[in-house]
Structure 1
Amino acid sequence: MDLTVRAVDVGFGNTKYISSVVGGEIRCASFPSLAYPSMRDPSVHPGYERRKTVVIPLNGLFYEVGPEVELAADTFRATQMHDRYIETPEYMALLRGALAMMKVSAIDLLVVGLPVAMLSSKKASLEKAMTGAHDVGGGKSVTVRKALAVAQPQGALVDFAVQHNKTTTIEREQSLIIDPGSRTFDWLVARGMRLVQNKSHSVNRGVSDMLQAMAAEISADIGTPYTDIDAIDWALRTGKNPVIYQKPYDISRAMPMAHSIAQQAVASMMRWIEASYSFQNIILVGGGAYLFKRAVKEAFPKHRILEVKDPLHANVRGFQIAGMNHVQKLFGTGLGAQS
């Protein structure tokens, strides 16, 4: 009997998930980690405009999540960026939204991620919450038979080893995986594929801190409060200046503030790790990797900073590979390949 393995990484900025596994090809997708609640199912309202979202019923409310969730947005940006976010209904709505988009009715092993600093305290409770039947709306449910929570950068390490054909040689090497996210800056020290717990950690100094600091700089520059964080994010990712008062604003004027925050995050990490010369691999992943690359290189001037293809999905892709390997070792059986 084939077993189905899937992975989800509910981050503060984006929710990443495995959309399908076809043969040896692992396909990833993602959507913003925003969940907008309402008292009634918006998809059944008269005049509802169809968009790329799903509606998840939870605790008497209906949470709309998905790639086009911002079309459902009000003026309040509904994020849950705090240390207990995995216990919030928004987290569960995002997780179930990802399950709904996978289009499978049952998952034998679901692999999920946690920031490094939360792993020891939240692992057991998250695995318990993930297990069982999940109502994904529309009269459908997805049953998760077993869940496994791992440190987010651990997935990136697995993905790196596979992409660079190092699954055997990496067992004799020491690696540092750096994963800048929306809220947290995570790093993981590993010997082979095993986590070195007392040198791995995370700090709340991520991309959102950069965007907020840059917004403050722009506000001071234009003489009025500027709060369009999404416009700054888009500008940084595309290299195109945001338009403010009908004119392009030179975003490079605020970049020194972003670099300062990246340096602060890296400096926090450097206090935890020792003997940087012993790292054979320093791997930079995550959606915010490009904003931290300069600061990381400054901290490790004698190393080559390694990257992976599609760094945004590195963690969840690695989760999937690790989950498939785990099932293969336990049961020596095939894996589901639902599209």
Structure 2
Amino acid sequence: MELDVVGFDGGHGRIKCCYCAADGSMRTFSFPSVAQLHRDSALEQSARAFADSPSIRRVNVGNSKFNVDTDPDALPPATVGERNEGDDFAERREYTALLYAALLKIGARRIRLLVLGLPVHLLGKYAESLKERFTGSLQCSDNSPRILVDKVVVLPQPIGSLMYLKALPSRRITSYSTLVMDAGWGTMDWVVSSTEGFKLDHERSGGSPGAGALIYRRIADLLALEYGERFDALDHIDRAVRSNSKLMVHGLSIDLNPFVQQAKEETTVELVRKIRARVRSTEDLGVVLTGGSCSLFADAAREIFTRIPLTTLDEPMMANVRGFVLGGLQSLRSR
């Protein structure tokens, strides 16, 4: 199978991917951003016939093998705590393993254009090395055919949401400029662009470590204070918050709403104020929220950006990769 464009957003919390299928439909998927070293112990070998899941992709990165569970509903082990949140994530073997797993899940033999997203503050540091690593023939696993990638483009993550927004037939942004705030798991990125066209204002755009994970960790701290137990499984907290369901841990059924509200009050306003200071004047702006954690920052955005139109994109977690594909297809057609 040959694909024109694949969009990949290697988030710290979840991997997001988008591509156009042969029938012209746009397909998206995501899975936890966790790659674990594969171990061939006697115990694991004996259990594999019974416990190995078809959603697990075994990939090669250099001389190492990694297991990546591509099931969108998979819950990583509670021992997974750091979640690749360092600024060097794009250079790590785990990033390569996650990208390889996504490409194997798609099943393409050739990709004309692979569009990768990076946090705004890391674009200049890692963009060229990503292009070099993933352009050409990729051997993702022992038993899979090579995947040919003709070209790699690396973009700031919120640019994808900006492209997606401007492709919508019923855009509701009427201001001269648009501020896109992309709240992910590990980073908050923002870009200011002219509403018509793609003229970016680099002086008013930026990125910062810390977003959804800050809130989830504060929730965990508050729970520990309340119940006198450790709460390390941030993915369980994340799922309960997203689904507005109770957290089932330590034999308890916990309503997270009061803990979420307190954590938001303690963390989100300060970060949004930082963005407000960076964009300086707001009289020309409309604000768009995107990213998997954007709902957690909506109240703070309304408080700080008063009297400014505020829009949240549909399916905000997938907006970046949808925009990567739409922009990539347009660039191929214009050649």
Counterpart check, 1:177 vs 2:160: no
TM-score normalised to the size of structure 2? 0.89
SS for the counterpart of 2:217 is: helix
Alpha carbons 1:64, 1:72 under 8 Å: kept: no
Distance 1:186 1:134 in 2: 30
After TM superposition, what 4+ stretches of structure 1 lie above 6 angstroms from structure 2?
Answer: 41-44
**2:313 pairs with one of 305, 308, 315:** 308
Distance 1:22 1:93 in 2: 26
Q: Structure 1 residues 146 and 284 mapped into 2: Cα distance closer, same or farther (>3 Å)?
A: same
Alpha carbons 1:9, 1:113 under 8 Å: kept: yes
**Match for 1:180: what amino acid?**
A
Counterpart check, 1:263 vs 2:266: no
Distance 2:40 2:89 in 1: 24
Match of 2:208 in 1: 203
**Match for 1:266: what amino acid?**
V
Counterpart check, 1:112 vs 2:113: no
**2:147 pairs with one of 142, 149, 154:** 142
Match of 2:198 in 1: 193
Alpha carbons 1:131, 1:145 under 8 Å: kept: yes
Distance 2:231 2:64 in 1: 32
**1:62 pairs with one of 46, 54, 65:** 65
- List aligned pairs for 1:29-40, cutoff 5 A: 29-40=29-40
- Using the TM superposition, give the Cα deviation of residue 225 of structure 1 relative to its aligned residue in structure 2, in angstroms: 2.1
Counterpart check, 1:272 vs 2:278: yes
* Number of residue-to-residue matches in the alignment: 326
**1:80 pairs with one of 64, 77, 84:** 84
Q: Structure 1 residues 72 and 59 mapped into 2: Cα distance closer, same or farther (>3 Å)?
A: farther
SS for the counterpart of 2:124 is: helix
Distance 1:111 1:74 in 2: 32
Distance 1:72 1:227 in 2: 12
Larger deviation, residues 251-260 vs 79-88: 251-260
- Taking every aligned residue pair, what percent have the same amino acid on both sides? 24
Alpha carbons 2:113, 2:153 under 8 Å: kept: yes
**Match for 1:278: what amino acid?**
D
Q: Map Cα deviations across residues 110-150 of structure 1 (whole Å, 9 max, x no partner).
A: 11101011122222222112212222222322111110000
Name stretches of at least 5 consecutive residues in structure 2 with no aligned partner: none
**1:133 pairs with one of 109, 131, 137:** 137
Larger deviation, residues 67-76 vs 262-271: 67-76
Q: Structure 1 residues 225 and 73 mapped into 2: Cα distance closer, same or farther (>3 Å)?
A: closer
**Match for 2:180: what amino acid?**
I
Distance 2:27 2:76 in 1: 27
Q: Map Cα deviations across residues 190-238 of structure 1 (whole Å, 9 max, x no partner).
A: 1231322121111112111111111011101112222221221122111
Q: Map Cα deviations across residues 309-329 of structure 1 (whole Å, 9 max, x no partner).
A: 211100000000111111111
Match of 1:336 in 2: none
Distance 1:196 1:272 in 2: 11
Q: Structure 1 residues 150 and 268 mapped into 2: Cα distance closer, same or farther (>3 Å)?
A: same
TM-score normalised to the size of structure 1? 0.88
Match of 1:248 in 2: 253
- Using the TM superposition, give the Cα deviation of residue 250 of structure 1 relative to its aligned residue in structure 2, in angstroms: 2.9
Q: How large is the Cα RMSD of the aligned pairs?
A: 2.5
